[in-house]
Structure 1
């Protein structure tokens, strides 16, 4: 009999990567990615499953063969990027060649997950938080698949911005030298696909006198019509549970606010948000039963202490899902307490470094 159910067309790409020790690299891939996605070991290979597709990796003599499948061009590009970055990271000083065949965009073509955006409006949410509404085309892909995007800020000057394009190995190929845009990760606070708009809440770091971070400088001086690049989406979404403890500072506040709006009425949420002072508090809403506490920063690890003291960790009820976004050291302390002392599982605790004291950009998020 013929299966009457419609099938979704799948895009496929493949590569063969010569390595000195392909088995060691496969094991490293499995150990690392198992913390983030389901991994199935299959003899001399493994199958990795992500929301946007699958990657089958197998040992073939002195090489790894990789076969990718995804439902769209963006998902396939994400898979190529993830494979290339991790293979190069774990290759132990080797520089293996990675060249993809099959579906997907060729080297030098625009990234399928890139959009050029223009500022539509700028408003203050609090004295230190500005909401930048960006307008662009074909934003449907940004409504699913993660909360976060990477904004690309072109260097000042009259020259037209230069944006990254597809590289041969699946990673973005960036403009060189002074033409390279600065990149920072932000949360989509709101998205309206029909209007072609996304709202990004951005912290005003720095002093406004030439000592701003790239994103803060853009937010401070943004005017309607200004151009910025956007790639994404990415980042995990909150897990399913009956009880949640959410913790974060101003940098994670847009993510906390957006996730609160998605939770169902039967859920209970204890949310702790660390801000500079009362002026930085803002209304947050949720259909869930919400206990919201604002913590005014005093440098004593308020978020970790709030988690340690919360009665849900010792009341004998269903373990809460822990979500945290904050400075690197605090995020590590929260994750360590939740996993080692409170006995929660990796699936029940997501603690992210949204920034790192003394570091900038992607370096701030590295463990």
Structure 2
């Protein structure tokens, strides 16, 4: 067993600790409390976080060098992102193993590209050892895109500082996070539905030229799967639609509930299997807002009958940042739905790229 440790000067640890623990849990590292220490366990190892008065002590353990560096990278990245404003200095001591390939890296090859709607493309990938992606609790993956002029694919490594080592020392690989629409481990297949928003990010550029035989890297899975419930409310835009479709197709036959999906126009509607007790309402982005809400999606959520008891209700929200923030605020502060019954997140933020969000840190995605 290998181990490493760090103690971070962290004057406002009490303020940031809840968000750090929530972020770890969302990234396949569920957390349990053990006296004054929080233990986060993942398939690659574990991290023990002990908050002090103005510090955070962290110890990590794993069975191999690649797994140790994977845990180290996850903790370094998530703590640093959540507390970006604090400019934390995270220096690791203990076992050093040198740069290693991420143990969760899978190489996927494009098998087929299909048009689902005018702006939604389904890419079916082939790959090996995909069983780890077959989980309802963690339904997202980070894809790594090779440069257009790449002849031989190259992949990043993780070092003893918890940082990414890019091929040639330069970050030429673009990356974005996507919902896993379906995974078939026995057949070696993984589906991603890409929404072409007309932008010029690395995923959009890759999608427009993707053909069978192209390769991408996939890391994960992570984040934002549904929780067990008898009734469900699903809310999203085109970027949340792959998650809504997957959740409904995986749902038990006796599930009841409602899906609210906003799209650009009628041509962006989709057909997919869902329990008979679930209704889907398609909203158009041209629809006027009502009840003082900012958008039709917020208005539709607020217009529901919230006088009905919601003890057995689970709500999943995936959409643009401003909608996400308004809807989560309404759910928590006005309906009083417990946080344990809500999974809400922003897939994107209007006017900001993922690089912009990373530069700002947790403040860019906080409600």
TM band (smaller chain): 0.7 to 0.9
What residue in structure 2 maps to residue 14 of structure 1? 3
8 Å Cα contact 1:257/1:284 also seen in 2: yes
Whether 1:352 aligns to 2:328 is no
Residues 246-261 of structure 1 correspond to what in structure 2 (within 5 A)? 246-261=234-249
Change (3 A) 1:100 1:284: farther
Gaps of 5+ in 1: 1-11
Residues 182-221 of structure 1 correspond to what in structure 2 (within 5 A)? 182-206=174-198, 212-221=200-209
Whether 1:96 aligns to 2:90 is yes
Whether 1:283 aligns to 2:271 is yes
**What is the total number of aligned residue pairs between the two structures?**
344
Change (3 A) 1:173 1:28: farther
Residue 294 of structure 1, CA deviation: 0.7
What residue in structure 1 maps to residue 217 of structure 2? 229
Greater shift, 32-41 or 294-303, is seen at 32-41
Residue 279 of structure 1, CA deviation: 0.9
Change (3 A) 1:327 1:88: closer
Whether 1:121 aligns to 2:112 is yes
Post-superposition Cα deviations, 1:190-237, rounded to whole Å, max 9, x if no partner, equal 11212222111111222xxxx633212222221111121211111131
User: What is the TM-score with the length of structure 2 in the denominator?
Assistant: 0.83
> What is the RMSD of the two structures over their aligned residues, measured on CA atoms?
3.0
SS of the equivalent of 2:212 reads coil
What residue in structure 2 maps to residue 303 of structure 1? 297
Greater shift, 138-147 or 357-366, is seen at 357-366
SS of the equivalent of 1:285 reads coil
Gaps of 5+ in 2: 26-30, 290-294, 358-363
Post-superposition Cα deviations, 1:26-74, rounded to whole Å, max 9, x if no partner, equal 54563223445445262xx412345646432347999755334579998
What residue in structure 2 maps to residue 164 of structure 1? 156
SS of the equivalent of 2:224 reads coil
Change (3 A) 1:166 1:293: same
Specify which of 48, 55, 58 is matched with residue 56 of structure 1: 48
Task: Find runs of 4+ consecutive structure 1 residues off by over 6 angstroms.
Answer: 59-63, 70-75
Whether 1:272 aligns to 2:260 is yes
Change (3 A) 1:59 1:366: closer
Partners of 1:73 and 1:225 in 2: CA distance: 32
Indicate the structure (1 or 2) with the bigger Cα radius of gyration.
1
SS of the equivalent of 1:264 reads coil
What residue in structure 1 maps to residue 292 of structure 2? none
Partners of 1:317 and 1:158 in 2: CA distance: 52
What residue in structure 1 maps to residue 231 of structure 2? 243
Partners of 1:175 and 1:344 in 2: CA distance: 46
Partners of 1:344 and 1:302 in 2: CA distance: 21
User: What is the TM-score with the length of structure 1 in the denominator?
Assistant: 0.83
Whether 1:107 aligns to 2:98 is yes
Residue 110 of structure 1, CA deviation: 1.2
